[in-house]
Amino acid sequence: MLLEVGSNIMKFYEYLLRRTDGRVKDYPLMQSPVQMTLILLGYLFFVLYAGPRLMANRKPFQLTSAMIIYNFSMVVLNAFIVYEFMMSGWATTYTWRCDICDYSDSPEALRMVRVAWLFYFSKFIELMDTVFFVLRKKHSQITFLHIFHHSFMPWTWWWGVTLAPAGGMGSFHAMVNAAVHVIMYFYYGLSAAGPRFQKFLWWKKYMTAIQLIQFVLVSVHVSQYYFMKKCDYQVPLFIHLIWIYGTFFFVLFSNFWIQAYVRGKRLPKPVSHQNGVKAECPVAANSKHLENGTLAHGNGSTQNGKVKEV
């Protein structure tokens, strides 16, 4: 039985390597799913076990300068990602409807491949969000949804870059997510800079509104697929996953909006003022920010929304 299971796993692995888009095989972390899976397992080990034990008898690190540099660097990176997505099709040749993946070696297709990989790689950089929480001993912010978003997003995007790196309608959510992260990381960069910048952060309430708009845009755009007479997008599974992801986080953020701004249950100590790193996901149980994104962003989001982030 075990031999049969092992044989099937190896067959699938070999099939996956054959299906891997040749244009991304030489990019870092794209040779197989093993590398990125080990990184994410290491992230989970540090966040859930090693990090808390390391900090148990230590004072929280301040890390103010590091967080300022990190947040504003992420602003620049995400702005560049948005620009590249636009110039690779969304502002040039795409119809914003049934746009399929371009598997050619045209300059525009190769540019889309590069930015798709860069977006994927940025999700590993965003793991620093949680590392800052650990080192600053803000353990209450390291919730299940925060960890889920930060680990699940890069893991799923490996498959996206492997099978469909050349954009199409499946890349719209990435462009929107990166745009939201520009705003979010800018906000948290100012927050990390200290009390003298608090007067410029009056628009905190609208961060949640921006996240909600993100999920609406993504869900509406991808929902077109279900109403078209014909759409030859090559990997429809990604369409279904994007719709589920967008809807799931829209519900979470809607609940947070109601709890915080309709019923008046404001957060006693916002994550942004504690850490200076983004909090993309709301949790109804305690009305606290999780993350971007997504998510994350938001980013997350869960971001990241990012709740990542969505």
* 168-181 pLDDT tens trace: 999 999 999 999 99
Taking 60 as the threshold, does the pLDDT of residue 144 lie above it?
yes
Is residue 105 in some structural domain? Answer: yes
Is residue 55 in some structural domain? Answer: no
For residue 13, what pLDDT is reported?
A: 67
Please report how the helices 236-257 and 205-223 are oriented relative to each other, as an axis angle in degrees rounded to 10. 150
Give the DSSP letter of residue 229: S
**Identity of the amino acid at 73:** S
**Identity of the amino acid at 154:** P
Is residue 47 in some structural domain? Answer: no
Closest by CA to 272, choosing from 291, 253, 256, is 291
Number of domains in the chain: 1
Residue 276: give the domain boundaries: 63-289
For residue 12, what pLDDT is reported?
A: 67
pLDDT digits (tens, 9 = 90+) for 72-109: 999 999 999 999 999 999 999 999 999 999 999 999 99
Q: Please give the average per-residue pLDDT across 19-38, as a whole number.
A: 89
Is residue 244 in some structural domain? Answer: yes
pLDDT digits (tens, 9 = 90+) for 230-286: 999 998 989 999 999 888 888 877 877 777 677 765 544 444 444 444 444 443 333
For residue 297, CA distances in Å to 185, 201, 211, 276 come to 9, 18, 8, 15
Quickly count: other Cβ atoms within 10 Å of residue 142's Cβ.
Answer: 19
Q: Give yes or no for a contact between 125 and 74, defined as CB atoms under 8 angstroms apart.
A: yes
Per-residue pLDDT band for 139 (boundaries 50, 70, 90) equals: confident
Burial class (CB in 10 A: 0-12, 13-18, 19+), 128: middle
Residue 165 token pair: 């790196």
**Identity of the amino acid at 285:** A
Taking 50 as the threshold, does the pLDDT of residue 188 lie above it?
yes
Is residue 103 in some structural domain? Answer: yes
For residue 52, CA distances in Å to 47, 70, 75, 135, 146 come to 7, 22, 29, 8, 16
289 is catalytic: no
Taking 70 as the threshold, does the pLDDT of residue 215 lie above it?
yes
Q: Give yes or no for a contact between 162 and 30, defined as CB atoms under 8 angstroms apart.
A: yes
Q: Which percentage of the chain shows pLDDT scores above 70?
A: 82
For residue 11, what pLDDT is reported?
A: 72
Q: Please give the average per-residue pLDDT across 156-174, as a whole number.
A: 91
- Partners of 283 in the β-ladder: 288
For residue 71, what pLDDT is reported?
A: 96
Q: Please give the average per-residue pLDDT across 48-58, as a whole number.
A: 93
Is residue 51 in some structural domain? Answer: no
Q: 139, 146, 149, 273: which is the annotated catalytic residue?
A: 149
Helix (H) or strand (E) run with residue 80 in it:
helix 64-85
The sign one gets for the Cα dihedral 230, 231, 232, 234 is negative
Q: Give yes or no for a contact between 175 and 87, defined as CB atoms under 8 angstroms apart.
A: no
Residue with tokens 């697929």: 225
* SS3 state at 219: helix
Question: Number of H helices and number of E strands within the chain?
Answer: 11, 2
**C-alpha–C-alpha distance, residues 15 and 255, integer Å:** 42
For residue 245, what pLDDT is reported?
A: 86
Q: How high does pLDDT run on average in the chain?
A: 82
For residue 310, what pLDDT is reported?
A: 47
CB-based contacts of 159, cutoff 8 Å, min separation 6? 33
Is residue 85 in some structural domain? Answer: yes
Q: Write down the pTM of the prediction.
A: 0.81
Quickly count: other Cβ atoms within 10 Å of residue 79's Cβ.
Answer: 16
